Structure 1
Amino acid sequence: MTVTDRQLSAPATAPVTRAMLLAAGKGERMRPLTLDTPKPLLPVAGKPLIEYHIERMVAGGVRDIVINVSWLGEQIEAYCGDGSRWDCVLRYSREPEPLETAGGIIQALPLLGDKPFLLVNADIWTDFDFQKLLSVSLPRQAAHLVLVDNPEHNTEGDFSLELDSVQLPSTETLTYAGIGLYDPLFFEGFAPGKRALLPLLQRAIEESRLFGEHHLGHWTDVGTPKRLEALERRLLASN
């Protein structure tokens, strides 16, 4: 299915006005840094990771942002507050224990409304322009993922991309960047609770409702202290 076919075969969706930042993980691979600080608050070039995302979302026109929190979540709430310093509204979905990606989204759906929403992992860094996703024509029950070249820690990749259609991995693969646009009905029928996202993505592939694009710019999964140090050096060198 090409972009043109997709736009012709699906009703136009409403403009994106809300986003969700995934910030509930324990960051176990980042220890000891995350024993006392949640990973989204780890500073890079003088600014917490999560702040880069909030600034980019606001710059792109999204000013209603939901953040799910769990591990040391009170620190994230204390730092980010109500969002007024960024000219946005921040709301929080609190998880007593991390619910994994899909579980956290499902719990937060009442805060996200009935329109497509931007979803971003708070523990990445990227120069991707979130505004690009806000005009994507998304069919109901579908999702649109941002994929990147496979990093050293994920050489086998996650998916393949044929035009704008995401497929199960084949010869040429890409890595899911932790950035996407999701219709709330993508999660329809799934009960609340701990749930991984990958099975939902695989099911969407089988039903031809998972789309995507290849981002060629910078992206880092800040999953280890070594990657955090490398990102710090890169950003300081570019300033």
Structure 2
Amino acid sequence: MAGRGSRLRPHTLTVPKPLIPVAGKPIVHRLVTDIAKVLGEQIEEVAFILGDPAFFGDDVVESLMQLPKELGAKGSIYRQDEPLGTGHAIMSAKESLSGPAVIAYADTLIRADFDLDKSADSVIWVKQVDKPEAFGVVKLSDQNEIVELVEKPQEFVSDLAVIGIYYFKDVGVLKNELQYVLDNNIINGGEYQINDGIKRMMEKGMKFVPGKVDEWMDCGNKDVTVETNQRMLGFLEKDGEGLVSDSLYLQNANIIEPCYIGENVVLKNTTVGPYVSIGNHTTIENSTVKNSLIQAHSTIKNANLDNAMIGNHVVFDGNFETISIGDYSVME
């Protein structure tokens, strides 16, 4: 999670993208929790690979360290000093690269229920997509093993897109192959890539199999993050998860579920929902809000919002509908 999340600005100017809440919980917290459910066993360590300490500072580290504690695991922080690709990022955490491990990109969310094939050397998690030419995909053998990774194929290879989550029976093997990639300056797209380490493992006859997820949700930009919030709220409602805090104050207000509403939220003369997430200590008055994501400590008045994303400590009073406002903004 070392990137700056530039496609999600202005929201990532003050908060790293994996820490932006979706349906009331930071993206990376949801991701790690969902991976833990698929693994079905005790996790020993959660290692986070961060970028520049000036951006990923002590407050970010403190927030992240809560997650391993909740899982009863050790937490580790590593830094990628330069944005030199996925392979380089992973090697920034080489002290933790031993034994069975999952490697995941922290800006995506999943819903998955499959048995992890731990007899394989690696499982690459994939999702069936409508336009495989826009993704990196896997090529399968007749034995349903992955024999090739193909980036944005112009001719049909498969419709199984790589989503950026990998299981390795012994991640130390990947470490050794990525060290070779770094030592020999093997660069693709101007960067050191995890795929080059994986390809070297395949060339040595190691077994790779697909793990198919049911849902794959992106948080790359504002529109898809609002859509992901919508989909996640629907899933959480089906799961029976409580989404509305008991500390909510209502005055002539209506909630159309599913919605996530945090602590000490005030709704006056307002209709909220469906598919709205509201952070702690936010007040909304004389407004209609649907299909939107509003963070904490903000004040919204006289608004008619749809497909909106509003940050923390925002004051908004106006009739714009589809907006994207970062933290500490005022629009009156």
TM-score range (shorter-chain normalised) is 0.7 to 0.9
1:145 and 1:226, CA in 2 relative to 1: closer, same or farther beyond 3 A? same
Cα offsets for 1:196-219 (capped at 9, x unmatched): 223333444444435121415011
Between 194-203 and 45-54, report the one with greater CA deviation.
Answer: 194-203
Query: Alpha-carbon deviation of 1:122?
Result: 1.0
In 2, Cα distance between equivalents of 1:215 and 1:99: 29
**Counterpart in the other structure of 1:236:** 233
**Contact kept? 1:158, 1:174, Cα under 8 Å:** yes
Between 115-124 and 76-85, report the one with greater CA deviation.
Answer: 76-85
**Which structure shows the higher helix fraction?**
1
In 2, Cα distance between equivalents of 1:172 and 1:67: 32
In structure 1, give the amino acid aligned to 2:160: L
Cα offsets for 1:180-230 (capped at 9, x unmatched): 112321231434796222333344444443512141501123222111110
**Counterpart in the other structure of 2:163:** 177
In 1, Cα distance between equivalents of 2:105 and 2:133: 17
Tell me if 1:89 matches 2:74: yes
The correspondence for 2:13, drawn from 28, 31, 35, is 35
In 1, Cα distance between equivalents of 2:201 and 2:213: 24
- In structure 1, runs of 5+ residues without a counterpart are 1-22
In 1, Cα distance between equivalents of 2:137 and 2:86: 16
Query: Alpha-carbon deviation of 1:27?
Result: 1.3
**Counterpart in the other structure of 1:160:** 139
1:149 and 1:110, CA in 2 relative to 1: closer, same or farther beyond 3 A? same
Give secondary structure in 1 for the equivalent of 2:31.
helix
**Contact kept? 2:6, 2:12, Cα under 8 Å:** yes
Tell me if 1:128 matches 2:107: no
The correspondence for 1:137, drawn from 119, 126, 137, is 119
In structure 2, give the amino acid aligned to 1:34: T
In structure 2, give the amino acid aligned to 1:186: L
Query: Alpha-carbon deviation of 1:73?
Result: 2.1
1:35 and 1:166, CA in 2 relative to 1: closer, same or farther beyond 3 A? farther
**Contact kept? 2:136, 2:149, Cα under 8 Å:** no
**Contact kept? 1:160, 1:173, Cα under 8 Å:** no
In 2, Cα distance between equivalents of 1:44 and 1:68: 21
**Counterpart in the other structure of 1:150:** 129
The structure with the largest alpha-carbon Rg is 2
In structure 2, give the amino acid aligned to 1:73: F
The correspondence for 1:117, drawn from 101, 119, 122, is 101
Cα offsets for 1:134-180 (capped at 9, x unmatched): x51134xxx32111113659635422222122324453242111111
TM-score, structure 2 normalization:
0.56
Between 82-91 and 211-220, report the one with greater CA deviation.
Answer: 82-91
1:181 and 1:32, CA in 2 relative to 1: closer, same or farther beyond 3 A? same
**Counterpart in the other structure of 2:279:** none
In structure 2, give the amino acid aligned to 1:101: T
In 1, Cα distance between equivalents of 2:60 and 2:225: 19
In structure 1, give the amino acid aligned to 2:115: K
**Contact kept? 1:66, 1:112, Cα under 8 Å:** no
Give secondary structure in 2 for the equivalent of 1:229.
helix
Between 198-207 and 76-85, report the one with greater CA deviation.
Answer: 198-207
**Counterpart in the other structure of 1:56:** 34
Tell me if 1:103 matches 2:88: yes
Aligned-pair Cα RMSD in Å:
2.7
- In structure 2, runs of 5+ residues without a counterpart are 151-155, 186-190, 238-332
**Contact kept? 2:111, 2:213, Cα under 8 Å:** no
**Contact kept? 1:120, 1:179, Cα under 8 Å:** yes
Tell me if 1:227 matches 2:224: yes
